[in-house]
Amino acid sequence: MIMIMMRMVEIFLVFWALMGICALGATNPQIRHIVEEDCSLTRYPSICVQTLNMAGLSSSSAGYTDIISVLLNKTISESKLPNTTHSTILTSQLGVQSSPQPGEYCETLMNLSEKRLQQSLTALNNKNKVEDIQTWLSAALTFQEACKDSAEEGQVVPNDVVRSDIAKKMSYLYELSSNALALTNRIQTTPFDTKSRGLSDQNYKDESSPDFPKWISRKDRKLLQATTTVNADVVVAQDGSGNYKTVSEAIEAAPSSGGRFVIHVKIGVYKEKIKTNKDGITLIGDGKYSSVIVWSDSVAGGTTMPATATFSKLLLHHLYSAKYSILFFL
């Protein structure tokens, strides 16, 4: 009986502590006005207000970056699947398969989402990073939505309860991330100021090379502009004239340091499935329809939608130069 009463007192104290935190912003008219005004600019204002009130926003001079920081920290702290036994449940219910488990795909998406959220949070204090933050948050939203779609389609796990929990969690994370992106879009980038609320019409392209976005380095631009033979790190050729006969072998040989690693894929049809977590890899073919990589997995054939991808790298760019077909793994 004593233990029960002590537990009730503990719950009561926690409840009033939380109420005090929520009331902190609500009792200050200036803070309440800032929260309501900024959250009105988001797609999900109710959850925005709730999140900021729970965080105890205490400064009446808080700017967009302060609020975005709160939203990102909340999203990161919630970026876990519904329970710690999720992997065990998925494995036991789905059984052993030759292709990656659908649940593993969802967990991979969440890891990638959290990585992009962390990058965004770090970049908030770095000027000229607004466009990067927009890109990373957009990627996080895509990862969350993909996991939700898999859950709703029954690809994550056949258990209705777990599937529903995952879908609800992804919707919640999506709303938090969407609100952070909405406010990021309002940041004025020149000069970078956490108190600034102006809109920016800055051209994000590199003035010295207006045809390329800033994320493409000078070295990579030379690859795109090349009209002569590109100096690749390794060559893939089906006839054995290169370093490797398959693209997968060449990617496997690439260092994990993240530096640019160029693979020249000679003319041919390569029937293989590419899966990698490495960054900085560039595949250069002999032309748009000359170097082709194909695979034949399909949902109709019994493969889950996430596992049907021929290229299982979740962030890449496909660009064309005057002579080459170029695939960047970012």
Kindly state whether residues 37 and 166 are assigned to the same domain.
Answer: yes
The CATH number linked to 245 is 2.160.20.10
Q: Which residue has the tokens 């009105």?
A: 40
Q: Is residue 54 part of a domain?
A: yes
* Residues counted in the chain: 330
Query: What is the token pair recorded at 222?
Result: 């030379």
Q: Which of 134, 168, 184 is the last residue of a domain?
A: 184
Q: What is the CATH number of the domain that holds 15?
A: 1.20.140.40
* In a shared domain, residues 39 and 122: yes
> What does the alpha-carbon distance between residue 305 and residue 204 come to, in Å, rounded to a whole number?
35
In a 3-state reduction of DSSP, which class is residue 203?
coil
For residue 143, what are the contacts with CB-CB under 8 A and spacing of at least 6?
Answer: 109, 110, 112, 113, 116, 314
Final residue in a domain of this structure, among 163, 184, 205: 184
Q: What is the pLDDT of residues 228-274, one digit of tens each?
A: 667 889 999 999 999 999 999 999 999 887 678 889 999 999 988 88
Residue 319: inside a domain: yes
Which pTM was predicted?
0.61
- Examine the domain organization and report whether 128 and 268 are in the same domain: no
Cβ neighbours around 279 below 10 Å, total: 18
Give the closest residue to 102 by CA, choosing from 174, 170, 141, 153: 153
Residue 202 lies in a domain: no
Instruction: Evaluate if residue 200 carries a pLDDT over 80.
Output: no
What is the total count of domains within the chain? 2
For residue 223, being part of any structural domain is answered with yes
What Cα–Cα distance (Å) separates residue 267 from each residue in 108, 220, 247, 283? Answer: 33, 22, 12, 12
| Cβ-based burial of 318 (10 A; exposed 0-12, middle 13-18, buried ≥19) | exposed
SS (H, E, C) 90-126: HHHHHCCCCCCCHHHHHHHHHHHHHHHHHHHHHHCCC
**Does residue 190 form part of some domain?**
no
Together in a domain, 134 and 273 = no
Domain match, 165 and 273 both: no
Domain membership of residue 232 as a residue range: 218-329
- What angle in degrees, to the nearest 10, is found between the helix axes of 130-152 and 102-123? 160
pLDDT digits (tens, 9 = 90+) for 98-142: 444 546 778 888 988 998 999 999 998 777 788 889 999 999 999
